């Protein structure tokens, strides 16, 4: 039997949202992002300038977190906090930096996520924002449309009562192919980010949800994100969200490599 992984420490909340360590990390990453692509946001005025909320976005490539982090820090003037896969936090040196910058490790399998969710609760209670990719991994859709989401983001929103804002993003696939290693950077290449109106979750708040209702709320989130991606791409998405299980795909890791 495999030995269970040691639980990772959680980040500590800094009294200043944009603190020294975060500014130091940003000073390194911002020039790199600007060389790789150009972040072009729209709809910033829809987001509160202060207070807690959750951003939910589609996930196409491994550059998406950089694009959204840049958007939050540089263009929203807020501190980006992500729920990120725990394997990143086990890389010597990197894990400490991620925690110091306020990132929260989450486990993919074989470990409960009670502690990470408590950390996310604490950040929201302190008035910070949390960014989540509800799909939990890069989309498995052959045409890179948003796929079926997981319920973690919606559960966090309902438990804390904070507003949820959808974000559609498109363009990182021109810089780095999905699960590809061939960079095609260019400071002129746009990664467009579109913020939507707050998602109306009034039908799901202040009551205990059964699994079907929780799935419906999660589907609402993903469909709202998909509408924003449709606007960015100028195309219509399939009527049904892509379901990796029905397609016989793995739900974590590089599904293309696993298929081979």
The model's confidence at residue 4, banded by pLDDT at 50, 70 and 90, is: low
Q: Which CATH fold would you assign to the domain 39-240?
A: Glycerol-3-phosphate (1)-acyltransferase (3.40.1130)
- The answer, yes or no, to whether residue 1 has pLDDT greater than 50, is no
pLDDT in tens, 139-196: 999 999 999 999 988 999 999 999 999 999 999 999 999 888 788 999 999 999 999 9
Contact 195, 252 (CB under 8 A): no
Whether 114 has a pLDDT exceeding 90, the answer reads: no
Cα(110)–Cα(116) distance, integer angstroms: 14
Strands 190-195 and 38-42: parallel
Three-class SS state of 205 = coil
Read off φ and ψ for residue 25, nearest 5 degrees: -60, -45
Apex 229 CA angle, 224 and 231, nearest 5: 100
The domain limits of the chain are 39-240
* Three-state secondary structure call for residue 180: coil
- Quickly count: other Cβ atoms within 10 Å of residue 254's Cβ: 13
Is 121 in contact with 159 (CB distance < 8 Å)?
A: yes
Kindly give, in sequence order, each residue whose CB lies less than 8 Å from that of residue 8, ignoring residues fewer than 6 positions away: 86, 89, 90, 95, 105
Percent residues over pLDDT 70 in the chain? 94
Q: Does the structure show a pLDDT above 80 at 206?
A: no
CA distance 19 to 14: 7
Quote the Cα angle for 89-95-98, to 5°.
105
Q: Are 82 and 65 in contact (CB under 8 A)?
A: yes
Class of residue 119 by CB neighbours under 10 A (exposed 0-12, middle 13-18, buried 19+): buried
Q: Which helix (H) or strand (E) holds 15?
A: none
Q: Are 188 and 79 in contact (CB under 8 A)?
A: no
Residues in the chain: 260
């Amino acid at each position: 039997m495999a030995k269970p992984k040691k639980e990772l420490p959680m980040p500590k909340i800094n009294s200043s949202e944009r603190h020294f360590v975060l500014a130091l990390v940003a000073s390194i990453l911002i020039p790199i992002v600007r060389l790789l692509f150009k972040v072009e946001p729209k709809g910033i005025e829809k987001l509160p300038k202060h207070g807690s909320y959750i951003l939910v976005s589609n996930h196409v490539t491994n550059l998406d977190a950089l694009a959204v982090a840049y958007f939050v820090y540089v263009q929203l003037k807020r501190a980006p906090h992500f729920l990120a896969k725990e394997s990143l936090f086990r890389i010597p040196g990197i894990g400490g930096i991620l925690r110091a910058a306020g990132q929260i490790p989450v486990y993919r399998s074989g470990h409960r996520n009670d502690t990470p969710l408590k950390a996310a609760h604490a950040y929201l209670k302190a008035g910070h924002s949390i960014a989540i990719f509800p799909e939990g991994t890069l989309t498995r859709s052959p045409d890179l449309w948003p796929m079926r989401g997981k319920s973690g983001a919606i559960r966090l929103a309902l438990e804390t009562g904070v507003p949820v804002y959808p974000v559609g993003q498109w363009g990182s696939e021109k810089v780095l192919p999905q699960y590809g290693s061939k960079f095609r950077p260019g400071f002129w290449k746009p990664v467009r980010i579109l913020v939507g109106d707050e998602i109306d979750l009034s039908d799901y708040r202040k009551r205990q949800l059964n699994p079907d209702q929780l799935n419906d709320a999660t589907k609402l989130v993903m469909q709202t994100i998909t509408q924003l991606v449709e606007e960015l791409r100028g195309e219509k998405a399939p009527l049904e969200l892509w379901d990796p299980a029905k397609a016989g795909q793995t739900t974590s890791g590089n599904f293309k490599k696993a298929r081979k």
